[in-house]
Structure 1
Amino acid sequence: MNNPAFSPTEQFGVEGLFGDELAAADLALANVGPILRHLLGSEDRALFSDRIVAQSRALIEDLAHQLALALEQALGPADARGRVDETASRLAAAFIANPPILTHAHALALEAELTERLAARLSLDTVLSPLLQASIASTDPETAATAKALLAAQARFVQAQRRGELPLAELPGELLHAAMAIMRELDAGSDPARDRIAGVLETAICGNFDEAASRLALLGRLIRAMDGGAVAALDVEHAGVALFVTALGLTAGLERDAAVFATSEVQMPRLALALLAGGAEHALVERQFFTLHPEITLPEGFETLRADRAAALLAGSGG
């Protein structure tokens, strides 16, 4: 079978193969931001036939609209709708130009698409995975409470993604502050009243922000509570996509968004190395590839690659 993810290499052994393929994956990942920024910044809607690109745009536009609506309503009712549309358009363009915000929206779109795809292909529940169900039934009150809160948060995430929404309350803290800073900078010095209202709005939003209650925080808390048992979450059919990518990031030392990208076809070498580095046995890694990419076979000699060498290859990559 022709295997584009693990192509032949002149280097000897499986480590050389993974090193070469990881370098190629780094190059592909480095191009993601600039390419997506170009696509989302274009006025040619024909470019958005791809579901992921369209979903990324929808999430960013929703984020921009939330802030624009809050700002313009605080400024007064006169022609509020026209002002909201104009402000939202400028905010969306600024968010697209911000790599961390753009990358996060893209990762969420990828996660949602993978969740729906596995639900359709393998009948995996988009909200309640076997691992989450077991956690809800845990005898540890804190684990059970976290799992129940996560169940509700995951249900909201699935519905929000289907509507193309990205609630401010679900942003990582650093991205919320980045979005606030962009909002303030757009009109800096242009109108003292707008500056003052924007400052009051920023204080109010950040003051009410509870990152610990967000879906991403709940996912991380549940995985960390498993300690060594987090390896159980490296089985996507058992854990579900959300817990799987969270566990992949935490066990392999990747940012969660990077762990989501690792599930995509062009990042399969990173996925294999991250699973090994995270503590998955070779047989478990092979099962994940069969689930996520059934058309791909791991390279000959993969079973000889040790977890420490996988971790070293990941640490040496630019992705």
Structure 2
Amino acid sequence: MIEEAVHKAGPEGVEAALREELARADAVAGTALPILRYLVSLEDDCLFGEDVLARVRGMIADLAAEVLHALAGEARPCGHVGGDVDVLTRAFVDDAALLSHVHALAVEWQLTERLQLRLGLDPVFSPLLKEGMASVDPAVRHLASAFLAAQGRWCQVQRRMSLPLRDLPEAVREGVFAILRKLVGRDGDLADRLDRLHAAEGPSGLEPSREALAARLVTALAAAGAALSLPHAGLALFLSAVAGGCGATRDAVIGATHERQAARFALMLRAVGLPSASITRALLALHPAGVPLPPLDPLQPEQARALLAAAPVLAPAAPVPAHT
């Protein structure tokens, strides 16, 4: 067990224990995506009614409805989800990149609600964001204002279990269009509409994403390192700061917040230079019952980054029912 590292001498013992814990976490992560795909595809909510599963299913169905009505040139109806949406939803669920990203969004929102309830963290307007809004640098103020609007909109979208196409990362959005092109096939009229939709929703026609704005704002405010304090930065900016500092994707950082991935998350925090005391506080904010970890101070940040590089995260990090 990882606790045994405490009784081993020096950073070598800590490093060996963390390698073992990452191997266990990887074994769980390797089975996660097929399990998630299976559970999302089930229609019996009485058996699998967990919040994250319902949210993943709802967001993907919303995305399918948006795309179909855009191709049909119609305003989106309220409430009804037809058979074509079900077909497209199943096709989207089979896309690993889309499913993993939507899962990360659902987990982030779940954490956002829990931290607001338990610690009183505002889901939109954190102390760090307030500092950005009051900055003497107009570029920082502009970034902070743009992120404030994007984060507020994201919260509204999450409450509705929606997933606008334009909110997807570019690589994931391109995967969605690849699925659509395969389904459209040789239908010339639909193919033309799809081309127009692709042009309208391409990178050149969109504002920077919430994630992109968060990364830029964290970089602009990085001098004091305040973005690495969860209570001060708020969850959204904290996740972006960790991702930027340790070189992982933001979705991978979100996946590592699961208690079964605590060793990976702790290594991410050590990789950005946080001491053991700060890492413990961050983990306790996410897991009030506590998770056993060895003291990480003997491990240098570059050693933590090397351990993470040797065990790249597989997202989603754990089977969904265990997280909900």
Give the structure-1-normalised TM-score.
Answer: 0.89
SS in 2 for 1:109: helix
Is the 2:64–2:88 contact (alpha carbons within 8 Å) kept by the matching residues of 1? yes
Q: Which residue is equivalent to 2:284? A: 290
Distance in 2 separating the partners of 1:206 and 1:183: 15
Distance in 1 separating the partners of 2:223 and 2:307: 23
The aligned runs of 1:1-319 (5 Å cut-off) are 6=2, 8=4, 13-73=13-73, 85-189=82-186, 191-206=187-202, 209-212=205-208, 214-229=209-224, 231-319=225-313
Is the 1:172–1:211 contact (alpha carbons within 8 Å) kept by the matching residues of 2? no
Distance in 2 separating the partners of 1:57 and 1:115: 19
Name structure 1 gaps, 5 residues minimum.
none
Distance in 1 separating the partners of 2:203 and 2:17: 50
Deviation at 1:7, TM superposition (A): 5.4
Deviation at 1:233, TM superposition (A): 1.3
Name structure 2 gaps, 5 residues minimum.
314-324
Report the count of equivalent residues: 307
Deviation at 1:297, TM superposition (A): 4.6
Residues 130-187 of structure 1: CA deviation (Å, up to 9, x unaligned): 1111111111111111001111111111111011011122111111111112112112
Distance in 1 separating the partners of 2:130 and 2:16: 41
SS in 2 for 1:44: coil
Moved over 6 A (4+): 9-12
Is the 2:3–2:292 contact (alpha carbons within 8 Å) kept by the matching residues of 1? no
Distance in 2 separating the partners of 1:315 and 1:268: 16
Deviation at 1:100, TM superposition (A): 0.5
Q: Aligned pair in 2 of structure 1 residues 67, 234: CA closer, same or farther (>3 Å)? A: same
Distance in 1 separating the partners of 2:71 and 2:3: 52
Amino acid at match of 2:53: V
Amino acid at match of 1:111: E
Is the 2:61–2:89 contact (alpha carbons within 8 Å) kept by the matching residues of 1? yes
Q: Aligned pair in 2 of structure 1 residues 303, 227: CA closer, same or farther (>3 Å)? A: closer
SS in 2 for 1:128: coil
Q: CA RMSD in A?
A: 2.3
Amino acid at match of 2:228: L
Q: Aligned pair in 2 of structure 1 residues 39, 84: CA closer, same or farther (>3 Å)? A: closer
Q: Aligned pair in 2 of structure 1 residues 300, 257: CA closer, same or farther (>3 Å)? A: closer
Is the 1:14–1:299 contact (alpha carbons within 8 Å) kept by the matching residues of 2? no
Distance in 1 separating the partners of 2:27 and 2:298: 26
Deviation at 1:294, TM superposition (A): 2.4
Distance in 1 separating the partners of 2:203 and 2:228: 36
Larger mean Cα displacement after TM superposition, 61-70 or 203-212: 203-212
Q: Aligned pair in 2 of structure 1 residues 179, 209: CA closer, same or farther (>3 Å)? A: farther
Deviation at 1:201, TM superposition (A): 2.6
Give the structure-2-normalised TM-score.
Answer: 0.88
Distance in 2 separating the partners of 1:318 and 1:254: 9
Distance in 2 separating the partners of 1:299 and 1:84: 46
Q: Percent identity?
A: 39
Amino acid at match of 1:271: F
Distance in 2 separating the partners of 1:205 and 1:316: 36
Distance in 2 separating the partners of 1:298 and 1:312: 22
Larger mean Cα displacement after TM superposition, 97-106 or 23-32: 23-32
Distance in 1 separating the partners of 2:312 and 2:203: 36
Residues 278-307 of structure 1: CA deviation (Å, up to 9, x unaligned): 121222112112211222254344332221
Distance in 2 separating the partners of 1:71 and 1:208: 20
SS in 1 for 2:202: helix
